[in-house]
Amino acid sequence: MAEQRIGAVEAGGTKFVLAVADAGGQIIDRARIDTRTPAETFPEMAAFFARHAPLAGIGIASFGPIDINPASPGYGTFTTTPKPGWSGARFHDALAGLGAPILVDTDVNGAALGEWLAGAGKGCETLAYTTVGTGIGTGVLHQGLSRGGIGHLEAGHIRPARDPQRDPFAGRCPFHGDCLEGLASGPAIIDRWGVPLDEAAKSHPDAIPLVASYLADLAVTLVLLHMPDRLIFGGGVMKTPGLLESLRARTEARLAGYVVHPRLDPGLATYITAPALGDDAGITGAIALGQRALREGRG
């Protein structure tokens, strides 16, 4: 019998990363395709996997909002995404022809799983992975399983404390205006200063402290509401030099010594960290989901 193969998809708003791995998770083949409409992107995705059929399990870490409840009839279906054409699109329909069990989770949960297995989250019982980019989202894993409820977490939409004197920008979230994503995502930074954060910092000395202050509200909230072993902050905005350090300092100041645990080291230098896998976290997590689909036989 041939080696069992795993399919994996990291589905983002601009690109899909596809991979086929052996049962041990070693990548055999990978590809990158543009995210267009489901009618264009899904067949291209399916064709890639068809070349490696049969697959024994498929794992998907996707942008959302998407139904990630395996017990739901809509499992794997995009729900209210504003991305044209994607509401109602379903991974299972596109991949049903392959006959493999499929597990679907969010992009941030997938990245969290990748970092937990092979990156900066190894050994953590409770891990929070946040991405700060086009959007802001957090995946929380406990013992390797993502936390959620009637849907996946939406941590990017908490409302940070805002001082209009310091920051007159009203925010750009179409639902909430000045929620965290409305104030501190990449597009919010461009809207406010006209340039990315590293550029803005050259002419606005408060730019990095301001964004760090908003993100610290999320970090503190994650600590108080999930008590993770570690917080990983990744995504394009977090690559801005000095931002991670500023986030650590503000988070520590806000916590004010209230949460006492050896994991919260002085300066939070090991408590709040960058991802270790860089751009490979998502596909690593998707492969792990595919391996889990194989073990559990879920479809």
User: Can you tell me the distance from the alpha carbon of 7 to that of 288, in angstroms, rounded to the nearest whole number?
Assistant: 10
Cβ at position 147, least distance to a copy of itself in Å:
7
Largest alpha-carbon pair distance within the chain?
A: 68
Q: Are 127 and 108 in contact (CB under 8 A)?
A: no
Residue 173: CB minimum distance to a copy of itself, A: 9
Contact between 5 and a copy of itself by CB under 8 A: the answer reads: no
Binding piece for a copy of itself, criterion CB under 8 A, among 21-29, 140-148, 184-192, 198-206 = 140-148
At which residue do the structure tokens 């601009």 appear? 14
Q: Do 298 and 129 touch, CB atoms closer than 8 A? A: no
Binding positions for a copy of itself, 168-227, rule CB under 8 A: 175-176, 217, 220-227
Q: How many residues bind a copy of itself (CB under 8 A)?
A: 41
Instruction: Name the minimum Å distance from CB 105 to a copy of itself.
Output: 14
Q: Which of 259, 267, 269, 274 binds a copy of itself (CB under 8 A)?
A: 259
The pairing of strands 102-106 and 126-132 is: unpaired
Nearest to 19 by CA among 59, 54, 56, 72: 59
- Interacting stretch for a copy of itself, rule CB under 8 A, among 154-162, 206-214, 275-283, 290-298? 154-162
Shortest separation between residue 253's beta carbon and a copy of itself, angstroms = 10
Does position 153 interact with a copy of itself (CB under 8 A)? The reply is yes
Residue closer to a copy of itself by CB (options 149, 205) is 149
For the bound state, the minimum distance from the C-beta of residue 92 to a copy of itself, rounded and expressed in Å, comes to 21
Taking alpha carbons only, the member of 285, 201, 281 closest to residue 243 is: 201
Write out the DSSP string of 125-180: SEEEEEEESSSEEEEEEETTEE-BSSSB--GGG------TTT------BTTTBSSH
Query: Where along the sequence are the contacts to a copy of itself (CB under 8 A)?
Result: 79-80, 125-126, 140, 142, 147-155, 157-159, 161-162, 175-176, 217, 220-229, 254, 256-261, 263
